């Protein structure tokens, strides 16, 4: 089962991708999480990616595509995966499609988690993220059991550098310009499914399970 999560920054892609990964036993692959792990570890890739991320801009395709293709070629991806935050541009989608075509494979579903811009900024200011396992919380909607500590792995939760209101606004502009065209791209391939992302996260997930089916 190969799934792409689409949606604006803060729509809940990561939240839903984690739930899909747990239920269906496929890895959750977030390019944003990969970049943040590299920033935390001070790698060359992290230093380069941070320049773009802190401004709410996309990391160039040349850097992003290679990382993603390497990741999906790992053994744990043999039964599928859920991609969160990739592809984000038409060229990225084309590279992925071509790579899969070569091995006579394809994406099964592109799930668009639909949330209007008005809801996004409020959500982001309350978000807390775990850089170790990728879990996401919200101080009001999804609080961790102990303040500032990840329920899943016990590591410290942080407020992301790019979650300032100004940067979020920029990310929304970039989303509409560069990522939203993917909705058309996957509609044409007849694999786009849209879920309402403004309702409770468990209700969003029920909608997704209806699309994917009970079994992997």
Residues serving a catalytic function are: 13, 88, 127, 160, 171
Q: Note whether 9 binds ligand AP5 by CB under 6 A.
A: yes
CB of 149 to Zn ion, least distance (A): 9
188, burial (CB in 10 Å: exposed 0-12, middle 13-18, buried 19+) = exposed
Shortest approach of ligand AP5 to residue 145 CB, angstroms?
14
Place of tokens 């592809």: 87
The smaller minimum CB distance to Zn ion, of residues 88 and 138, is found at 138
Q: Are 61 and 92 in contact (CB under 8 A)?
A: yes
Report residue 64 as tokens.
């992003």
Interacting residues with ligand AP5 between 51 and 90 (CB under 6 A): 52-53, 56-59, 64, 85-86, 88
Which strand ranges, in their side-by-side order, compose the sheet holding 81-84?
Answer: 28-30, 81-84, 2-6, 109-114, 192-196
Residue with smaller CB distance to ligand AP5, 183 or 201: 201
Residue 134 lies near ligand AP5 (rule: CB under 6 A): no
**Which region among 2-10, 38-46, 97-105, 150-158 touches ligand AP5 (by CB under 6 A)?**
2-10
Tell me the sheet residues that pair with 81.
2
Minimum CB separation of residue 198 from ligand AP5 in Å reads 7
**Helical residues (DSSP H) of the chain, grouped into ranges:** 13-24, 31-40, 44-53, 61-72, 90-102, 117-125, 165-174, 181-188, 201-212
Give 207's DSSP letter.
Answer: H
Q: Which residues bind Zn ion (CB under 5 A)?
A: 130, 132-133, 135, 150, 152-153, 155
Residues that bind ligand AP5 (CB under 6 A): 7, 9-15, 30-32, 35, 52-53, 56-59, 64, 85-86, 88, 92, 123, 126-127, 136-138, 141-142, 162, 171, 197, 200-201, 204
């Amino acid at each position: 089962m190969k799934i792409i999560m689409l949606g604006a920054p803060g729509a809940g892609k990561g939240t839903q991708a984690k739930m899909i990964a747990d239920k269906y036993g496929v890895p959750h692959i977030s390019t944003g999480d990969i970049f943040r792990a590299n920033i935390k570890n001070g790698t060359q890739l992290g230093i380069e990616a941070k320049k773009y991320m802190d401004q709410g801009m996309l990391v160039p395709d040349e850097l992003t595509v290679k990382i993603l293709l390497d990741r999906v070629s790992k053994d744990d991806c043999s039964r599928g995966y859920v991609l969160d935050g990739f592809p984000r541009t038409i060229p990225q989608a084309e590279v992925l499609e071509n790579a899969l075509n070569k091995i006579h494979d394809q994406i099964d579903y592109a799930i668009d988690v639909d949330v209007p811009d008005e809801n996004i900024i409020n959500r982001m200011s309350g978000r807390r993220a775990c850089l170790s396992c990728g879990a996401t919380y919200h101080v009001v909607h999804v609080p961790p059991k102990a303040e500032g500590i990840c329920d899943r792995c016990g590591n410290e939760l942080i407020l992301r550098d790019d979650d300032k209101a100004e940067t979020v606004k920029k990310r929304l502009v970039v989303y509409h310009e560069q990522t939203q065209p993917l909705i058309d791209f996957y509609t044409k391939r007849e694999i786009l499914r849209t879920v309402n992302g403004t309702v409770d996260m468990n209700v969003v997930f029920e909608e997704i399970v209806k699309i994917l089916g009970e079994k992997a």
